[in-house]
Amino acid sequence: MSIRHGFYAGWRGSEYEASPDGDLVRLYVAQQATGFRQIAPDRYVQVVPLSDVDHLQYVTTHCMWRGEPFVVLGEHEGWLRVEYSGGKAPVAERLGLESFDRGVYQAWASGHEVEDLHEETV
């Protein structure tokens, strides 16, 4: 399963990473495609009217790790960057999580240790 975290839009039968901007939506791909222009290495964009998009949704990936709920922010070489979503500082401390910001705790978790990896869509 690929880890998705952010906006995604359906357009002309495909799904793209997306960024809404009022009545427009920026669609992103990792390689050259017709109508897309390069904005960075391995990053191409095309701006389309929101009315042309089949769907626009916010997708997050969630899991359970060490018996607690987490949001998965990314993946690197079999490790998942997870953010504790239980909101209890004593639990975060017991798990040895890094304090990323006030009330926000993160860690790197082995992909083999997580359970119930699933997406939620808003």
Residue 120 binned pLDDT confidence (cut-offs 50, 70, 90)? very high
- The strand pairing partners of 115, in sequence order, are 64
By DSSP bridging, strand 115-121 and strand 55-65 are antiparallel
pLDDT tens-digit profile of 14-48?
Answer: 999 999 999 999 999 999 999 999 999 999 999 99
Residue 103 binned pLDDT confidence (cut-offs 50, 70, 90)? confident
Q: How far apart are CA 22 and CA 118, in angstroms?
A: 29
- The strand pairing partners of 46, in sequence order, are 27
pLDDT score recorded for residue 1 = 64
Beta-carbon contacts of 81 under 8 Å, excluding residues fewer than 6 positions away, are 72, 73, 74, 75, 106, 107, 108
Query: SS3 helix, strand, coil % of the chain, rounded to 5?
Result: 10, 60, 30
Report the alpha-carbon angle 4-2-41, nearest 5: 75
Which pTM does this prediction carry?
Answer: 0.80
Structure tokens at 43: 């990053």
Which domains, and CATH codes, for the chain? 6-55 (no CATH), 59-121 (2.30.30)
CA atoms within 13 A on the CB side of 7: 12
pLDDT tens-digit profile of 81-93?
Answer: 999 987 788 899 8
